[in-house]
Amino acid sequence: MKLVALPALTDNYIWLLHDGEQALVVDPGEPQPVRTALNELGLRLAAILVTHHHADHTGGVAALAKETGAAVHLPAHELIPVDGHRHAEGATVAILGLPWQVLEVPGHTRGHIAWYGAEVGGTPLLFCGDTLFSAGCGRLFEGTAQQMHASVSRLAALPEPTRVCCAHEYTLSNLAFARAVEPHNLERDRYEALCRHRRAQGEPTLPSSIGLERAVNPFLRCGEVAVRDAVIRHAGLPADADQVALFAALRRWKDEFR
């Protein structure tokens, strides 16, 4: 199986996974990058996976499905006006001969899901949409801080080698915020240098990994003393603030960070 990040729109990635003959794509916000890749690689589109309803993740779904006959797999609890198979928590769907587990991860939207493949080329694969970013997490457009904290904590509990396929190239801006929160994190410094090199070469910073995100992502590190103390100082929280309060304050800080 080969994994390809297709740049789309302003800063989106449409993820394409293929076996040399058939492919799946995730969150095609526009159709043309997918059309081009299918043509250049000589692939047939077998399936389209969607994580949530925002237009930059669904804008190309209907056209691609009509043109290719690909099966469309959608979140059960999102309003997406496209015909397809709708899946909720606990579902396992066979796509490209592999089992994909549906994880409900609300927060960015109420019905957001992630797609987890535990058996993809020997290394697990996570398509997490806008729930988890490298060194960050999604904004709380519809859900609560409690929901998002639970969602990213759930993803952080996946095996460390799991490849994290986020839907946006936000890594460098997220790392700048992570540096403000936790300035003495050497692992983050090394990762930031690598990401700057990749972007200078015109390459994606993604996929990341769960193990790396545990080491550098402040939204997964609210229990670390340095992160906890920084958030308490910045937000004026009581010293005994719980994890959800810390997470909510950290998300507000990121919303305002420039």
- Is residue 56 part of the annotated active site? The answer reads yes
Annotated catalytic residue, options 54, 73, 112, 149 = 54
- Is residue 130 part of the annotated active site? The answer reads yes
When pLDDT is cut at 50, 70 and 90, the band that residue 45 belongs to is very high
pLDDT at residue 62, as a whole number:
98
Distance CA 53, CA 63 (A): 16
Order of strands, sheet of 92-95, starting from the edge strand that comes earlier in the sequence: 92-95, 98-104, 113-117, 125-129, 163-166, 208-209
- Is residue 83 part of the annotated active site? The answer reads no
- Tokens 């056209």: give the residue: 63
Annotated catalytic residue, options 52, 73, 77, 112 = 52
Residues 6 or more apart whose CB falls under 8 angstroms from that of 23 comprise 16, 17, 37, 38, 41, 43, 44, 45, 46, 96
pTM above 0.85, yes or no: yes
170, 137 Cβ separation under 8 angstroms: no
Residue 54, CA distances (Å) to 34, 51, 108, 157, 159 in order: 18, 9, 10, 26, 28
Does the pLDDT value for residue 132 go beyond 90? yes
**3-state DSSP call for residue 18?**
strand
- Residue 96 DSSP one-character state: T
Name which of 20, 21, 18, 15 is nearest 50 in CA terms: 15
- At 234, which helix (H) or strand (E)? helix 225-235
pLDDT at residue 22, as a whole number:
98
Annotated catalytic residue, options 18, 27, 53, 57 = 57
pLDDT at residue 121, as a whole number:
82
Annotated catalytic residue, options 73, 87, 112, 130 = 130
Q: 99-105: list long-range contacts, CB under 8 Å, 24+ apart.
A: 100/49, 103/154, 103/155, 104/77, 105/131, 105/151, 105/152, 105/154, 105/155
- Is residue 168 part of the annotated active site? The answer reads yes
pLDDT tens per residue across span 7-44 = 999 999 999 999 999 999 999 999 999 999 999 999 99
Name which of 67, 54, 61, 102 is nearest 84 in CA terms: 61
pLDDT at residue 258, as a whole number:
85
Annotated catalytic residue, options 18, 112, 149, 168 = 168
Distance CA 129, CA 215 (A): 21
Q: Could you give the dihedral angle defined by the CA atoms of residues 170, 142, 61 and 77, in that order, rounded to the nearest 10 degrees? A: 140
pLDDT tens per residue across span 139-153 = 999 999 999 999 999
pLDDT at residue 122, as a whole number:
87
pLDDT at residue 119, as a whole number:
85
Q: Which residues in 119-237 belong to E strands, given as ranges?
A: 125-129, 132-133, 136-137, 163-166, 208-209
Residue count (the chain): 258
Annotated catalytic residue, options 87, 108, 112, 149 = 108
pLDDT tens per residue across span 89-125 = 999 999 999 999 999 999 999 999 999 999 898 899 9
- Is residue 52 part of the annotated active site? The answer reads yes
CA angle 180-258-130, nearest 5°?
Answer: 85
- Is residue 73 part of the annotated active site? The answer reads no
Annotated catalytic residue, options 56, 87, 112, 149 = 56
pLDDT tens per residue across span 186-224 = 999 999 999 999 999 999 999 999 999 999 999 999 999
pLDDT tens per residue across span 64-90 = 999 999 999 999 999 999 999 999 999
Beta partners for 17? 3, 24
